[in-house]
Each structure stands twice: as C-alpha cells, then as structure tokens.
Amino acid sequence: MPLRTKEITKLYYKIGEVAEMFGVNTSLIRFYEKEFDIIKPHRNKKGNRLFTQNDVDHFHTIFHLIKEKGFTLEGAKAHLKKQKTTAPDAQEVIKTLQRVKRFLLEIKSDLSAE
C-alpha cells in the first residue's frame, strides 16, 4: 500500500496559475482584485502579483457566487459583507468533503484491485 503523504500546497501562486485553476483569463483575476477588497495579493520586486492560498480561497468564493449562483457584483459584495464569517467556513467544509471523497475512492480502487 502506498505511503500517504500530506497534500503539497504552494506558498504563493502567480496570476497565471490562479487563472488556470479556474479556467478564466488573468484580466478577470485583476478585475476581481480591484472590485473585492478581500483579495490582496502580495507583489514581488518586479510588481508581479503573488496570491496566497487564502487569496485563492477568497477568489473561489467570489467565483462561486458570481458564476455559479448568478449573483451580480454588487450582490456578491453585499453577500460577502453579510456572511463574512460563514462563507470561509462553508468553503472549508467543501474542501474537507472533497478530500474525504478522494480518500474513499482511493480505498475503493485499492480494494477492487486486490
């Protein structure tokens, strides 16, 4: 049985990597950065944006509200202000459930292989 290792995450993501995660253009990332004050990327000496995992999580929440739930920009802003504490908690629950699902599917494939 393979050794289970901790999921590797990067400390910083470039704007192109974040755009690729969500299948969008980098211009949308820059636009959301200007519109929503919860996305605050660091900048290196050259001025390139470096996003933390927290920024990516915030972007995921915004992307979910606008693209999947159909909120307007103003509606998403109002929802984030109203639900400041529950939105990140819901996001964590979703991530945990996805990890559990992957783990259970690995167990299922290991059992069916034997």
Query: What would the pLDDT profile of 46-67 be if each residue is shown by its tens digit?
Result: 999 999 988 888 898 888 889 8
Give the span between the Cα atoms of 106 and 43, in whole angstroms: 38
Q: Which of 53, 54, 47, 56 is nearest to 19 (CA)?
A: 56
pLDDT by residue, tens only, the chain of 114 residues: 444 455 557 789 999 999 998 899 999 999 999 998 888 899 999 999 999 988 888 898 888 889 888 999 999 888 888 876 555 566 777 778 888 999 999 999 988 887
CA distances from 95 to 45, 60, 75, 84, 99 (A): 33, 11, 24, 18, 6
Q: In the CATH scheme, what is the code of domain 8-82?
A: 1.10.1660.10
